């Protein structure tokens, strides 16, 4: 996954829980997802990326699976409120 910040401001975001279509095809499909209760950070004019591991078990029935996320932008006030709520500043990753 690649996100490019083309603005002059730092960008914070989180990934809302994913959806998989067809839902029946998600059984046997394993991946290390972004929707892990973290806020992410991209400095101005930088690129952020993550390699996401995907695995399909032998029990998987679907030949195709669409995985989607909504990335939700956050302002610095929201990030501070989130950090205060979890008791640590370690939740924002870059």
Q: Which residue has the higher pLDDT, 49 or 38?
A: 49
pLDDT surpasses 60 at 9: yes
Which helix (DSSP H) or strand (DSSP E) does residue 66 occupy?
Answer: strand 66-68
Bond into 10 cis (ω within 30): no
Residue 93 clears pLDDT 80, i.e. is over it: no
Instruction: Show the 3-state SS of the chain.
Output: CEEECCCCCCEEEEECCCEEECHHHHCCEEECCCCCCCEEEECCCCEEECCCCEEECCCCCCCCCEEECCEEEECHHHHHHHHHHHCCHHHEEC
Of 20-24, 30-34, 65-69, 90-94, the range with the lowest mean pLDDT is: 90-94
Element counts in the chain: helices (H) and strands (E): 1, 10
Give this prediction's pTM: 0.69
The tokens of 90 are what? 């370690």
Mean pLDDT, to the nearest integer, of 23-32?
81
User: Which of 2-6, 52-56, 66-70 has the largest mean confidence?
Assistant: 2-6
pLDDT at residue 94, as a whole number = 58
């Amino acid at each position: 996954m690649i996100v490019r910040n083309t603005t002059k401001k730092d960008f914070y975001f989180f990934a809302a829980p994913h959806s998989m279509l067809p839902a029946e095809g998600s059984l046997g499909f394993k991946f290390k997802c972004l929707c892990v209760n973290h806020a992410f950070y991209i400095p101005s004019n930088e690129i952020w990326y993550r390699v996401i591991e995907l695995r399909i078990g032998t029990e998987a029935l679907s030949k195709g699976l669409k995985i989607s996320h909504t990335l939700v932008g956050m302002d610095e006030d929201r990030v501070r409120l989130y950090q205060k709520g979890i008791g640590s500043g370690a939740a924002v990753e870059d």
